[in-house]
Structure 1
Amino acid sequence: MEGYRDMSERNRTKVHVIPHTHWDREWYFTTSRSKVYLVKHVKEVLDALENIDGFHYYLLDAQGSLLDDYIRWCPEDEERIRQLVSAKRLMTGPWYTQTDQLVISSESMVRNLYYGMKTAQKYGHAMKVGYVPDAFGQSAQMPQIYREFGIERFLFWRGVSDNTNPHTEFTWEGSDGSRVFAVQMPFGYYYGGNIPENEEDLIPYLEKQIGALERKASTKHIYFPNGFDQAPVRLNLPELIKRFNALDTEREYVMNEPERFLAEIEADSQDLPVLRGELMEAKHMRIHKSIFSTRADLKQQNNRIENLIANTLEPVLAISHSLGHDYPHRIVEDIWKLLFENAAHDSIGGCNSDTTNQDVAFRYKQAYDIALNLLDLHMRMIASTIQQEETFAFTLFNTLPYVRGGVTEIEAYIPEESFVIRDTKGRELAYTIVEKVDQTDYVLGQHIDLNPSRKVHLPERVYRAKLLVELQEVPAMGYTQIVFDFSQGAAPVIERRNEDKIENEHFTIALQANGTLQITDKRSGQVYADQMVFEDNGDDGDSYNYSPPERDLIVSSAGSQMSATTTQTSVSQTLSLRFTLDVPYDLEERTAGITSGALPMQVEISLRKGENLIRFQVQVQNEVFSHRLRVLFDTGIASALSIADQPFGVIARPTSLPEVEVWEREQWQEKPITIEAMQSYAGLNNGTRGMAVMTGGVREYEIVGEQMDTIALTLFRTFGFMGKENLLYRPGRASGEKIVATPDAQLLGELSFTFGLHIQTSGFDEANVARAAREYLTPISSYQLCDFLNGRLIFAFRDEALVLDTDYSLMSFSNDSNVVLSSFKKAEQSDGYIVRVFNPYLSQSANVNMHFNQPVHAERVSLGEQPLEPQQRLTDGEEVVRLPELAHCKLMTVLVSI
């Protein structure tokens, strides 16, 4: 560490010049271009660090992926990089990519840090700084996440303004109470990127630039970043620093890097203010708060894959490993890393060129295909070795830690014959066939007889079908089987009627004359009228911000003429609606009040037997431009706070902001708005009843209405340019490139959305909303074991020894447990299993007793799966693991060894 020249100089400002780059892996340019130029850049950095006297440090944007990208093409430089990283001169980590923190899932952020630190440590050192130069806001749970990875210092730009904290240093306290030492780069990571060379320009430059930083600082330490986006290294920076010191004798200038800088400034910081919760202010820098719904199609793909990996794939792989199969660590790592490439703030934001977003979409396709086929393989390896005589069996996998039942959807290939479905206890299960398509020639034409001596039944006809089956008991974190019995049974009765009402044990839903729904909660007698209003309005924004046009025309589905039919079976009832919204074709028509465009819509509202959830499936044929579509649910609860989930917990946010009265006068960078992010649910609750929307799609909501009583869930928004100037919600310059047209972002064509409505008859905590959302996003998975499918269609398998029981449970939570499971997977560094849970409640504590199918050893570990000091052993050779009580928003990770 470079120190002061003598004790008499301690009152002088010490300017820490930090050479760095902010290297977007893609943006208006593609990853291919970025990687090609990265090679040139890193070679220049290595040469500068090795050969230029006084060039001590360089910060490579805290993204370990950049070194992986470089080494892939320049393996000859790996040893050079190891030496520089080990010496803490070339700084990288803790991230793998510079991730978003608000619409990315909690497990995605954890894995990003895990693989980022693993990558950096592979080269010699992982920077223990929460370095976030450009993410669009900071999640309230990041202090806890950072501390779990041993990161106690935070360096960032966006999210804090002088009305909250006038200085650059403060203590940041997260939702759970965890704290980190925080330093803001108040004018951005690029603030010192354009140092003039001429002496007559240099003196006034330093006075202006450093003087502004001094007025923001609460100590004598100044962070002065030299670099900006994809910028070349300033090779004469050591000479410039010498000139700074010669010209400006009132200050001391040194080259430094973030870890050393933060250690010095923290040592000199006293009586720091404490900032709590999310950092989302946009007074001095743009947060792009409504970017949560940009490119809804890509957001949907991300959320679908994140849920598939963490909720289903990893638990099934852990179950498979417990039964003797290898755990495919490297394949899972590759899936996550594909997602990390898309999790970078611009990539997940969707604020890119169309060409770049096509690359994003392709990575999602790759990740989903690998994940789905890996899941299929391991379910098959289990299903094909279960002791069974049936030739038409389905193995059902429950990846939640408690027994599940109820109506679930199963995809299957079925013959034409009638059948009954039975579980392993011989009980007949009610079911219905939702749809089926004849695929006889395709399926039977691909059958392969590996053993012609073995008798195989080939049906005359084969249908690809979708079934709803009422299950009784699927073991916790395990599997069971159901079999199709063709010796008896009749086709299930399906009644289709031109009616407008459906019901189950919990709700009656009726279509009202004005085209909205009336929902009657049978449990409480509460009637919710005028529900499910689709609202379309103009979007004059760009890829960063939703912004209404100066003259908007809002079109509502309330009052629309709808055609309605119902489908009623023994396990479900569905209300199907068709209607068309007459909307403006584009922004010009919207300004003129013309509605020559049409938005045809189909909506299915479904109630499953016994389920306290209303399911919605919406299809929209979008052929109009620059607009936003939301769906509204009127809770009848006037509230000053909304409730939504955030990473590893819940957050209550204000439904209105006082800053909206002064933002224009104070010249904020963006209008303060209450369009917010969620992980899976958002809603209102008054302590005795409530309502929440749940989605695996776009994670954006707003509370609207004169009484702030209506939940608005964004389905999608469309626009035509990457950046635009002078928006109503974002005055001034364009964000991004204003000349880059984005016709793909108009999302023309058929769009599909699914979401659920959860109605509560109690306070929020008592209703277990988080658990209901987790169940909604974690369907029971199934694998069909059937002789006639064995062939090219699914790749042929040989006959395996039948050794597994028909029912299996690896672990379960006790009935009185009230935590939410975040992750169940094999440990990265041992044969044990990782169990991660968190407290999902607003006010009550949470606890859990875990039961395993054999004696285990268990201890608490960090998010990085490292032992805690001192060691926190929970059990040693018992089947029950009792976890300590979890306070508000607390998470806990446990390593269980069998």
Structure 2
Amino acid sequence: MTNKIHVIAHTHWDYEWYFTSNESFIQLCYHVDEVIKALEENILDYYMLDGQMSIVEDYLEVNPEKKDRLMSLIQKGKLKVGPWYTQSDQMIIRGESLVRNLQLGIELGDSLGGADRLGYIPDAFGQSIDMPKIFSQMGIDKSVFWRGLSSDKMEQREFFWESEDGSRVVAYNIKDGYFVGVQLIESDDSESLINQIKKDTASSHIALPVGGDQRYVDINLKERIAGYNQNLTKDQLVESNYDNLFSEIKSEEQELPTIQGEFLNAEVSKIHRSIYSSRFDHKYLNDKVERRLIYQVEPLMAIADRIGIPYKKELVDKIWKLNLRNHAHDSAGSCNSDKTNQAILQRLIDADQLSYSVVDYLTRKISESRDEIKENQITVFNTLPVRRNQMIKLKVSLAHADFAIYHKGKKIAYEIISVEKHSNDPVRKKENPSPESYYFESEIVLPIELNAMGYEVLDIVEGEKGADSTQSVDENPFNHIENEYYRINCVDGQLNLYNKVSDTLYENFLFIEDSGDDGDNYDYSPPEKDRIICLDFSEGHVQYVKGELESSLKISGLFTIPVNQDERNQEEYNGEVPYECCITLRRGAEGVDFQLDMENKAFDHRMRLVVNGDVKADQSIADTPFGTISRPVIDPNLESWQESGWKEEPTGIYPMLNYVNLHDGQKSINAFSKGIKEYEIIGSSSKGIALTLFRAVGYLGKPDLLRRPGVASGNQFKYIETPDSQLQKKLKFKFSFMVGDTFSEAAAFTYYQNYAVSVPYYQHQSLNQFTTTLKYFVMQPLPETVPNSISLFDAAKVKDVVFSSFHKSRDGKGFVIRYFNPADKKIDDGGEVMCLKAIQFWGFTNMAETLNENETYQSETIQLGAFKPKEIKTIYIQFS
């Protein structure tokens, strides 16, 4: 059979790596010049600019005069750009972030002549189970990727990659890497190269990508193709692109096999299945920014838009783009040099400041523009489409220590956590503040039910007794905290949890595990001589802080561990890691909240929080961008990976976005996290969850690791020290745990959103000018007052599906709300969403937001209908 070899000229442009984006930007400016010249002068027929638009945007920022020439080449199909904004990681990045990435990339590409509709993923460390349905909903029906596919899942390179809802794309696996075709330029051994790329192909049309990391334009490509063709008898090389490749594969009318699932195996390429714990400080901050953008900024802007504050799409896009640049696979993984990680951290800080400033501004603007505004009123915002009936924390600044709180005319209970007395007199060196300048800043917790997707007002009456109780401190070591669901105590340094509902005692429920780490920024690897230390709280100072609404168990102390690997080898323990641990129970809450603050003072080690669940299960369930995935506790390839020549051990370490579950027929343990992205199921007959808190390592890449033999990852020729990755700093970890006897995917997502999405609020007062960053400065209220309360939706009748996002549509004319089925079973009826404001129409759309205007509805009740397994539904709404 004669094979047609499609030679595809491209570059893989790592946004940053051991170099910074600024350093590679200079080369980019000259590189794109060379690409334009090569295409205009027919030195090349086609060229692919790595499928990401951020580098095109950067180039045009300083070369605006080249825009028309660039557009001409894109319009002619000679230059392939998009559809991504950045080449995103898929394993620890939220689904809505992936959608915004593709939306922004496609819009920018289309504005320049047409974004390529190809799911191009040349180097990401694994492919998410949800990508086929994301691609399909963005109008993309084909995909090219390299890493993660193993022969036990699929032997041939061409196949249908399918999601559980039936969405699918035609996939092509470049299993020898996006750089394999460089041999065409550098080697005359045509037979060896052709045999290599023909292996495992079923089609007579075969891809030969010619390019590499930041590689120059191969101006002799035509000459090399001609030379190879002279030596080949059965095969022919042609300049081509992936559109042509897929078109010709389709024309063969072969029946391609179908596969579902994620691709996270390292048979043919490294996959770095423990990169999810590198630079926890980055992961934590990115998680915080993503959460705020999706669950607060976009809904708040939509609420504000409905009352006369225009939705600033360009502002939201600016913040998204800033954060999406941190989602490139190396950037998200943090497998970079220190100088690059410093730049990433600064972008994360910038995105954090911008996003919380949007929340601060809008909550204040709305609050100070209300109808009947009164001093000390608190405007409270619910940015989720369901009523929230839970405990919330507020800080209020008042002239009196005593005060009452009313909601809708009804006095509500609250509990005082702490009170601080401050003065608002101007600061002077020697003068004492005047007595009348003092005010009280009180932190309180209160139960409240808030209407969905809107805001409402709390009234404060000063001088009236209102608090039901003030939390008290008890240091009796034999005491405990409890609510309706749990009782928790600390006995001899061991945390014990009793589940009242199931009458089950979990002894030593939470503890810390410390071990050595001989790995690098890519991977954890145990040292040849390791010493695993189980740390309890026996040396800690224990306090039971008790209240009627909220109680906490607080422990502070020092974990004593080896300072470094030399001490670990010698069984010496001279390292001290200060910690503060707080475990909180709230009235009516089904979960246990846990916060651990530590200051790492040790090197080359890994610390994990172990949830000792005593569950008998051989599968774990973790959340994914738009659903869940079940993974084996022990990988079926674990015993044979070395003899099979895999690139790294198929360890039981896996990624998570926000939660992981372990359950059997009797017990279910859910662990929810704000920023932790890695877990492993440990134990033999009874199992628990190990959540990786952080890894402290000192090199970008190291060779010959126990879990990853062979050359170093990153740079094979030089040790690059990364002392910042030793994380010698204060670290904050936040979790919540839910213990029961059954598991529901949708209920777990709902619990997570209530736990992780805080309630924004603003107090109208003039005593304390620093409750928000810019409160010190005056603000102009809206010219027309706004209602004292508003609620856009009520999704109380939605069932078994998960809210994903609510924001203004990309065309600026309507709004979009999205739900998905997180389970792998069909839902006959997802329930209904009630629009509480008049609408013109609604209709189902997709992630690309293309709407069939002939299939719209005028009813203010949105019937979600049936959901296929793991299906995503997006609804377009135009309000009146």
TM tier, smaller: over 0.9
Check whether the contact 2:401–2:440 (CA below 8 A) recurs between aligned residues: no
2:831 pairs, out of 848, 854, 862, with 848
Instruction: Report the Cα distance in structure 2 between the residues aligned to 1:230 and 1:356, rounded to whole angstroms.
Output: 16
Q: Call closer, same or farther: CA 1:406–1:745 in 2, change over 3 Å.
A: same
Shift of 1:162: 2.6
Shift of 1:562: 2.8
What's 1:889 paired with? 870
Instruction: Report the Cα distance in structure 2 between the residues aligned to 1:546 and 1:442, rounded to whole angstroms.
Output: 53
Q: Among the aligned pairs, what percent are the same residue?
A: 33
2:728 pairs, out of 744, 748, 752, with 748
1:305 pairs, out of 289, 301, 307, with 289
Matched, 1:183 2:172: yes
Instruction: Report the Cα distance in structure 2 between the residues aligned to 1:572 and 1:77, rounded to whole angstroms.
Output: 62
Instruction: Report the Cα distance in structure 2 between the residues aligned to 1:439 and 1:365, rounded to whole angstroms.
Output: 31
Structure 2, gaps ≥5 residues long: 430-434
Shift of 1:854: 2.9
Check whether the contact 1:518–1:531 (CA below 8 A) recurs between aligned residues: yes
Matched, 1:880 2:861: yes
2:94 pairs, out of 59, 80, 105, with 105
1:631 pairs, out of 606, 609, 620, with 609
Check whether the contact 1:542–1:722 (CA below 8 A) recurs between aligned residues: yes
Matched, 1:287 2:271: yes
- TM-superposition CA deviations, 1:193-239 (whole Å, max 9, x none): 24356xxx51xx21111111112211111111111000100011112
After superposing the two structures, state which structure 1 stretch, 832-841 or 80-89, moved more.
832-841
Instruction: Report the Cα distance in structure 2 between the residues aligned to 1:36 and 1:435, rounded to whole angstroms.
Output: 54
1:785 pairs, out of 755, 764, 781, with 764
What SS does structure 2 have at the residue aligned with 1:854? coil
Q: Call closer, same or farther: CA 1:382–1:290 in 2, change over 3 Å.
A: same
Check whether the contact 2:8–2:208 (CA below 8 A) recurs between aligned residues: yes
Check whether the contact 1:555–1:582 (CA below 8 A) recurs between aligned residues: no
Matched, 1:725 2:703: yes
Check whether the contact 2:398–2:767 (CA below 8 A) recurs between aligned residues: no
Matched, 1:432 2:416: yes
Instruction: Report the Cα distance in structure 2 between the residues aligned to 1:443 and 1:775, rounded to whole angstroms.
Output: 40
Instruction: Report the Cα distance in structure 1 between the residues aligned to 2:575 and 2:320, rounded to whole angstroms.
Output: 41
Check whether the contact 1:168–1:184 (CA below 8 A) recurs between aligned residues: yes
Check whether the contact 1:156–1:184 (CA below 8 A) recurs between aligned residues: yes
After superposing the two structures, state which structure 1 stretch, 215-224 or 540-549, moved more.
215-224
- TM-superposition CA deviations, 1:265-307 (whole Å, max 9, x none): 2332623222220011101100001111110000000000000
Alignment of 1:627-706 (within 5 A): 627-706=605-684
Check whether the contact 2:550–2:585 (CA below 8 A) recurs between aligned residues: yes
Q: Call closer, same or farther: CA 1:886–1:195 in 2, change over 3 Å.
A: same
- TM-superposition CA deviations, 1:745-793 (whole Å, max 9, x none): 011021111100012233435x811110111111211112113456964
Specify the code of the residue in structure 1 equivalent to 2:452: A
Instruction: Report the Cα distance in structure 2 between the residues aligned to 1:523 and 1:254, rounded to whole angstroms.
Output: 69
Alignment of 1:549-560 (within 5 A): 549-558=527-536, 560=538
- TM-superposition CA deviations, 1:95-149 (whole Å, max 9, x none): 0000000100110000000001111101111111111000000000000001001
What's 2:301 paired with? 317
Matched, 1:796 2:778: yes
What's 2:83 paired with? 94
1:72 pairs, out of 61, 70, 90, with 61
TM-score, scaled to structure 1: 0.93
Instruction: Report the Cα distance in structure 1 between the residues aligned to 2:350 and 2:399, rounded to whole angstroms.
Output: 32
Instruction: Report the Cα distance in structure 2 between the residues aligned to 1:822 and 1:415, rounded to whole angstroms.
Output: 41
Specify the code of the residue in structure 1 equivalent to 2:713: S
Check whether the contact 1:388–1:802 (CA below 8 A) recurs between aligned residues: no
Check whether the contact 1:509–1:517 (CA below 8 A) recurs between aligned residues: yes
Instruction: Report the Cα distance in structure 2 between the residues aligned to 1:667 and 1:31, rounded to whole angstroms.
Output: 35
Shift of 1:534: 0.6
What's 2:258 paired with? 274
Instruction: Report the Cα distance in structure 1 between the residues aligned to 2:494 and 2:363, rounded to whole angstroms.
Output: 42
- TM-superposition CA deviations, 1:133-188 (whole Å, max 9, x none): 00000000000001001111110100112333222112212233322111111110
Specify the code of the residue in structure 1 equivalent to 2:690: A
What's 2:462 paired with? 486
1:612 pairs, out of 567, 571, 590, with 590
After superposing the two structures, state which structure 1 stretch, 338-347 or 793-802, moved more.
793-802
Alignment of 1:111-510 (within 5 A): 111-196=100-185, 202=188, 205-268=189-252, 270-434=254-418, 436=420, 438=422, 440-441=424-425, 460-471=437-448, 473-489=449-465, 492-499=469-476, 500-510=479-489
Check whether the contact 2:414–2:466 (CA below 8 A) recurs between aligned residues: no
What SS does structure 2 have at the residue aligned with 1:232? coil
What's 2:34 paired with? 44
Instruction: Report the Cα distance in structure 1 between the residues aligned to 2:259 and 2:155, rounded to whole angstroms.
Output: 12
Check whether the contact 2:595–2:735 (CA below 8 A) recurs between aligned residues: yes
Instruction: Report the Cα distance in structure 2 between the residues aligned to 1:275 and 1:142, rounded to whole angstroms.
Output: 13
What SS does structure 2 have at the residue aligned with 1:318? helix
Shift of 1:735: 0.2
What's 1:831 paired with? 813
Check whether the contact 2:616–2:687 (CA below 8 A) recurs between aligned residues: yes
What SS does structure 1 have at the residue aligned with 2:356? helix
Specify the code of the residue in structure 1 equivalent to 2:835: F
Instruction: Report the Cα distance in structure 1 between the residues aligned to 2:789 and 2:246, rounded to whole angstroms.
Output: 55
Structure 1, gaps ≥5 residues long: 1-10, 446-457
Shift of 1:867: 1.7
Instruction: Report the Cα distance in structure 2 between the residues aligned to 1:706 and 1:190, rounded to whole angstroms.
Output: 42
What's 1:450 paired with? none
Matched, 1:542 2:520: yes
Specify the code of the residue in structure 2 equivalent to 1:858: W
What SS does structure 1 have at the residue aligned with 2:61? helix
Instruction: Report the Cα distance in structure 2 between the residues aligned to 1:854 and 1:560, rounded to whole angstroms.
Output: 57
Instruction: Report the Cα distance in structure 2 between the residues aligned to 1:800 and 1:340, rounded to whole angstroms.
Output: 33
Supply the RMSD in Å over aligned alpha carbons.
Answer: 2.1
Check whether the contact 1:690–1:764 (CA below 8 A) recurs between aligned residues: no
Matched, 1:511 2:487: no
What's 2:432 paired with? none
Specify the code of the residue in structure 2 equivalent to 1:831: K
Specify the code of the residue in structure 2 equivalent to 1:155: V
Shift of 1:384: 0.9
Shift of 1:537: 0.6
Matched, 1:812 2:790: no
What SS does structure 1 have at the residue aligned with 2:816? strand
Q: Call closer, same or farther: CA 1:592–1:423 in 2, change over 3 Å.
A: same
- TM-superposition CA deviations, 1:733-754 (whole Å, max 9, x none): 0001342100000110211111
Specify the code of the residue in structure 2 equivalent to 1:885: A
Instruction: Report the Cα distance in structure 2 between the residues aligned to 1:248 and 1:136, rounded to whole angstroms.
Output: 35
Instruction: Report the Cα distance in structure 2 between the residues aligned to 1:814 and 1:74, rounded to whole angstroms.
Output: 52
Q: Call closer, same or farther: CA 1:806–1:443 in 2, change over 3 Å.
A: farther
Instruction: Report the Cα distance in structure 2 between the residues aligned to 1:793 and 1:779, rounded to whole angstroms.
Output: 20
Shift of 1:799: 5.6
What SS does structure 1 have at the residue aligned with 2:638? helix
Check whether the contact 2:609–2:692 (CA below 8 A) recurs between aligned residues: yes
Q: Call closer, same or farther: CA 1:389–1:104 in 2, change over 3 Å.
A: closer
Instruction: Report the Cα distance in structure 2 between the residues aligned to 1:439 and 1:89, rounded to whole angstroms.
Output: 67
What SS does structure 2 have at the residue aligned with 1:195? helix
What SS does structure 2 have at the residue aligned with 1:787? coil
What's 2:554 paired with? 576
Q: Call closer, same or farther: CA 1:768–1:425 in 2, change over 3 Å.
A: same
Shift of 1:605: 0.3
Q: Call closer, same or farther: CA 1:444–1:408 in 2, change over 3 Å.
A: farther
Instruction: Report the Cα distance in structure 2 between the residues aligned to 1:112 and 1:667, rounded to whole angstroms.
Output: 35
Instruction: Report the Cα distance in structure 2 between the residues aligned to 1:436 and 1:130, rounded to whole angstroms.
Output: 55
After superposing the two structures, state which structure 1 stretch, 406-415 or 205-214, moved more.
406-415
